Homo-oligomer: A and B are copies of this chain.
Amino acid sequence: METNFSVDPKLAERLLFEIESDQMGGWYDLPNTYNVDEIKHIKELARKIQSTSKFLVCIGVGGSYLGHRAVIEALSPKSPTKILYAGNSLSTRELNKVIDEIGDDDFSILVISKSGTTIEPALAFDAFKQKLQKKYGEKDSCSRIFVTTDANHGALHDEAIANHYGSLTIPNDIGGRYSVLSTVGLLPLAVANVNIDKLLEGAKFCRDKMLNTGDLGNSMLVRYAFDRYRLYKKDGCDVEVLASFEPSMLYFNEWWKQLFGESEGKNYQGIFPASVVYTTDLHSMGQYMQQGRRNIFETIIEFADNSGANLAAEKATVYAHRLGGIEVLEIKVPSLDELSLGFLFQFFETACALSAKLMGINPFDQPGVEVYKQKMRELL
């Protein structure tokens, strides 16, 4: 689609228009099209949960899980209600850890699932619903079950209506891996006392400043997307390593890997997404980054207000890795807080969709996930 690999503002504008117009492009302008009443409703539900529950078990997997966990792990906010996670694996060991932590304390559950039929959250929902009913009785337990699901269809939707669960709807035009700033992420984040207004403000800042059509050629976002495309197509780099100098960004990295891996990894194409946390991983993956195969490039998120030693370590790392022959892309944000995380979510979602479009890949489907699910249904 592109031959000289330099940033082409006209091409970027056309592809961004395609993304915004896509039937799954609802996240693109979300920071400007918010339903104010829905945000109010989310905050009311959050206060209700906080007033009744020491724990909220968030049941979901993939895009219904990684985004809100990324923010909570990154910021460690203080809240009367601690968020626990379930339904993201089939491990009974993990399930029992959550049950042990709850003990005899008060808790509620939040099931986040478009269809309600994905096996991991469905099994966990069963387990925790039984636990609620045993503790609070069948009727009262209904006031401790919350769901975020499809607006009109599905098993979970029907059950929520029938039992008057507190519920939120997942917009039809937003896919799982692009949904962190929708109802999917905002309710657990509000319960955890994350400032969701600031998160949305950060996303809006990215939407408005990075995609100013008068200046797309200088946009850090557009440049990042074109750089990735050039590195992949021209320089033969098939692994991207996302790095930051804050260990609490571990789950943000996981969110990022789903976003890019699931958006680009199809038609036997796509950059393999990997991640590190420095300086920890300079003492493990540092040797490979310095002198391993040169089919990798590195993307570093810098928090400008990091400590002097940490910023010096970042400078030394960028210097050393460039000397070692790998290209390092840098994305700078002011601080590890809600504003910057909101910015980064919107930034990477948009850049990912743009990158995929440049490669000629549909950023919004996931046809490969079906093979495993089909075989799993056969075996169970």
Contacts and interface: CB of A to CB of B under 8 A. Distances in A.
Contacts of A280: 61, 88-89
A380 to B, nearest CB: 5
Contact of A270 (B120, B258, B277, B292): B292
Contact of A279 (B89, B265, B309): B89
A90 B266 contact: no
B368 A324 contact: yes
A368 B286 contact: yes
A254 interface: yes
Interface string A63-101: 101100000000010000000000011111110010000
Contact of A62 (B177, B267, B284): B284
Contact of A272 (B123, B265, B292, B312): B292
A6 to B, nearest CB: 24
A317 interface: yes
Interface string A286-320: 11111111111000000000110110110111011
A217 interface: no
A251 to B, nearest CB: 11
A93 B336 contact: yes
A288 to B, nearest CB: 3
A376 B315 CA distance: 8
Contacts of A76: 97
B284 A272 contact: no
Nearest to A323: B371
B91 A245 contact: yes
Given A247-B94, A266-B287, A292-B265, A320 B239 contact: no
A218 interface: no
A366 B287 CA distance: 6
Contact of A238 (B286, B291, B295, B313): B295
Contacts of A265: 285, 287-293
A353 to B, nearest CB: 15
Interface string A119-130: 110010000000
B285 A371 contact: no
11 contacts: A63-B283, A89-B247, A92-B310, A177-B284, A257-B285, A258-B285, A262-B287, A265-B288, A291-B367, A315-B379, A320-B371
Interface of A: 61-63, 65-66, 76, 88-94, 97, 118-120, 123, 177, 238-239, 245-248, 254, 257-258, 261-262, 264-270, 272-274, 277-280, 282-296, 306-307, 309-310, 312-313, 315-317, 319-320, 323-325, 336, 366-369, 371-372, 375-376, 378-380
List 5 tightest A-B contacts by C-beta distance, closest first.
Answer: A265-B288, A62-B283, A265-B292, A290-B368, A258-B284
